[in-house]
A and B are shown apart, each in its own frame.
Chain A
Amino acid sequence: AQSVSQHNHHVILSEAASLELGCNYSYGGTVNLFWYVQYPGQHLQLLLKYFSGDPLVKGIKGFEAEFIKSKFSFNLRKPSVQWSDTAEYFCAGGFNDYKLSFGAGTTVTVRA
Chain B
Amino acid sequence: NAGVTQTPKFQVLKTGQSMTLQCAQDMNHEYMSWYRQDPGMGLRLIHYSVGAGITDQGEVPNGYNVSRSTTEDFPLRLLSAAPSQTSVYFCASSYSGIRDGYTFGSGTRLTVV
Where the two chains meet, the residues of A that have a C-beta atom closer than 8 Å to any C-beta of B are 6, 9, 32, 34, 42-46, 49, 51, 90, 92, 94, 97-105
Q: Provided the pairs A32-B99, A43-B105 are in contact, do residues A98 and B45 lie with their beta carbons within 8 angstroms?
A: no
> What is the CA–CA distance of A103 and B105 in the complex, to the nearest angstrom?
19
Where the two chains meet, the residues of B that have a C-beta atom closer than 8 Å to any C-beta of A are 31, 33, 35, 40-45, 48, 50, 58-59, 90, 92, 94, 96-99, 101-102, 104-107
Q: Provided the pairs A43-B90, A98-B31 are in contact, do residues A105 and B50 lie with their beta carbons within 8 angstroms?
A: no
22 A–B contacts from the bound complex (CB under 8 Å)? A6-B42, A9-B40, A32-B98, A34-B101, A43-B104, A43-B106, A43-B107, A44-B90, A44-B92, A49-B101, A90-B43, A94-B98, A94-B99, A97-B97, A98-B31, A98-B33, A98-B94, A99-B98, A100-B98, A101-B45, A104-B41, A105-B42
Q: Which residues of A contact B90 (CB under 8 A)?
A: 43-44
> What is the CA–CA distance of A89 and B107 in the complex, to the nearest angstrom?
16
Residue of B nearest to A6 (CB): B42
Q: Which residues of A contact B106 (CB under 8 A)?
A: 42-43
Q: Which residues of B contact A92 (CB under 8 A)?
A: 43
> What is the CA–CA distance of A92 and B99 in the complex, to the nearest angstrom?
13
Q: Which residues of B contact A46 (CB under 8 A)?
A: 101-102
